[in-house]
Structure 1
């Protein structure tokens, strides 16, 4: 008989051990995957620059319908290492192509109720 301690998921398979943040200070890129509500002001604070004449903020929220069907909530899952790698590529391309002074991409994981933000993108 094994104890419950012996049956724990190995560290390399445990999603709680995966990094959920990635920062590239040289390009002012900030990426986050979180189970907590997103903070738009925090995203703007990270990319605010005296060299930028404007900041743009996108909030993607959970709506109550999709294709004429009721929606109660959304639930997101991700493999954080691959997700962060993919988001980093998108962010670096955006910085290079558009001369951005910084970018934040924050995405919720888990259940996101109606009217709450699933994604915040600030440039």
Structure 2
């Protein structure tokens, strides 16, 4: 067993989920190793003053850049990542006048068709909701201290296991070019 406070203790899946909430209870962020709870996220963002609820689920697909993907794996610096996620959630909630916001990110291995991230918001109207949810997701991908490893089924390392590459937490092709730039 790892000593309390050691790096292996901080990253031990048994010490998750880890959660932070805003002082007013309107923002919830979470890191976890197990399957993400979409129903919890949906219940959290509901508000009697909200006419719009936006829930985004980022799922592992079986291919990327014309290559077969076997799974993804995520690592994070939990304390720093949680603080960054809460800052993002709070800033976006205030900027877009959102009722409630939630960000839940999975760590460890994420198989094909399972979610690695949930971003949810509630707002008075859909326009601010769509904008807020999109901005929150993009900020998470740009700023959160979460790293993605993509495992490819068509390549093996020296020990015969599927090969993996570390990627920025944003969509890039095999040459590192952003695929979101057009």
Give the structure-1-normalised TM-score: 0.88
Could you list the runs of 5+ residues in structure 1 that have no partner in the other structure?
A: 1-7
Runs of 4+ in 1 over 6 A off after TM superposition: none
Provide the aligned length of Structure 1 versus Structure 2.
116
Which stretch shows the higher mean deviation, 34-43 or 111-120? 34-43
> Residue 39 of structure 1 corresponds to which residue in structure 2?
37
RCO comparison, higher one (Cα < 8 Å, 6+): 1
Deviations 1:82-115 (A, max 9, x none): 1001101110111110011111100111110001
Could you list the runs of 5+ residues in structure 2 that have no partner in the other structure?
A: 122-182
Q: Which has the higher strand share?
A: 2
> Residue 53 of structure 1 corresponds to which residue in structure 2?
51
The whole-number CA distance in structure 2 between the counterparts of 1:39 and 1:18 is 14
Supply the RMSD in Å over aligned alpha carbons. Answer: 1.5
> Residue 68 of structure 1 corresponds to which residue in structure 2?
66
Secondary structure of 2:53's counterpart equals: coil
The whole-number CA distance in structure 2 between the counterparts of 1:25 and 1:54 is 23
> Residue 4 of structure 2 corresponds to which residue in structure 1?
11
Q: Is the 8 A contact 1:59 1:119 kept in 2?
A: yes
